[in-house]
Structure 1
Amino acid sequence: MDTSYLALEFGTLDGGALIQNTVAAALYFVVGITVLGAGFLLADLLTPGSLRHLVFVQHRPNAVAVACGMYLALAMVTATAIVASSAELGQGLVDALVYGLVGVLLQGAALVVLEVLVPGRFRDLIADEKLHPGAVATAVILLAVGGVNAAALS
């Protein structure tokens, strides 16, 4: 009985490549978290009061909706910035950081434009205790802008 078809071929293992790829992954993670942190800070600066306080202490539903839309959009932008970066590690890290920060600034600009274009006082809406459809619409718009932003970076 021939059992050669049951054999597995592992090939050769290269520990150096494994270590290099692990270090690269960790460095890209640090760059990604840095970009996300910058985005969170920008979102906090552009919303009235402390967005972190409104979301995690006061549990304001409109702040949660807008923050979720912004943070998911920033995650798309950051992931795309990493994927679109150069294959060379040093250049790739710089690319990911620069592309990611440009994406953060574009998301911030989108939030400012929404503030100007949305009828009524968007700033008053964020701290309201009752969920408003405008906050959900704003979150969806931020996600859409994040998708376009991410595609532009690729």
Structure 2
Amino acid sequence: MSDIINGLGRTSAFGALGLVLLILGIVLVDVLTPGALRKQIWEERNRNAALQLSSALLGVGGIVFTSIWTTYDDFGKGLLNTAAFGLLGLILMGLAFLVLDLFTPGKLGAIVVDPEPHPAVWVTASCNLAVAAVVAASIS
């Protein structure tokens, strides 16, 4: 019975940390794109913005999953790894967005919130997932 209670406690802690990282991912995408992201997705049904946010959330989820998976036996290390690699992943995804914006025509933030579907958003979303995969692969 204590194993179950211990597991529930660990799961709650990792879950809370994961939620914080996901919220930070939402904030990051909101900061990098003009206008209110919430309005863009839920009111205006902007597919570009939804794809951009979804890729960031999937990326963060992959990093959190990998961190927990590789360090679960050491709870303290697992929490620290999850926080550190999750934050690093968010920083790198934000930097990748800015670099991609620098080397491509137009303003990427404006493209993301444009109501007309744009293939550049798929590139940006793929970049989020690629960056997250690199971070996840580096976790040991």
Q: TM-score, normalised by structure 2?
A: 0.87
Please list every run of 5 or more consecutive structure 1 residues that lacks an aligned counterpart in the other structure: 1-14
Counterpart for residue 83 of structure 1: 69
Q: Note closer, same or farther for the CA distance 1:43–1:127 as it changes in structure 2 (3 Å cut).
A: closer
Answer whether contact 2:29 2:52 (CA < 8 A) is retained: no
Counterpart for residue 110 of structure 1: 96
| Structure with more helix by fraction | 2
The total of aligned residue pairs comes to: 140
Partners of 2:113 and 2:18 lie apart in 1 by 29
Counterpart for residue 62 of structure 1: 48
Counterpart for residue 27 of structure 1: 13
Counterpart for residue 94 of structure 1: 80
Partners of 2:132 and 2:138 lie apart in 1 by 10
Partners of 2:48 and 2:135 lie apart in 1 by 23
The alignment yields a C-alpha RMSD, in angstroms, of: 1.7
Structure exhibiting the larger radius of gyration computed from Cα positions: 1
Partners of 2:70 and 2:39 lie apart in 1 by 34
Counterpart for residue 121 of structure 1: 107
Aligned-pair identity (%): 30
Please list every run of 5 or more consecutive structure 2 residues that lacks an aligned counterpart in the other structure: none
Misfit runs of 4+, over 3 Å:
none
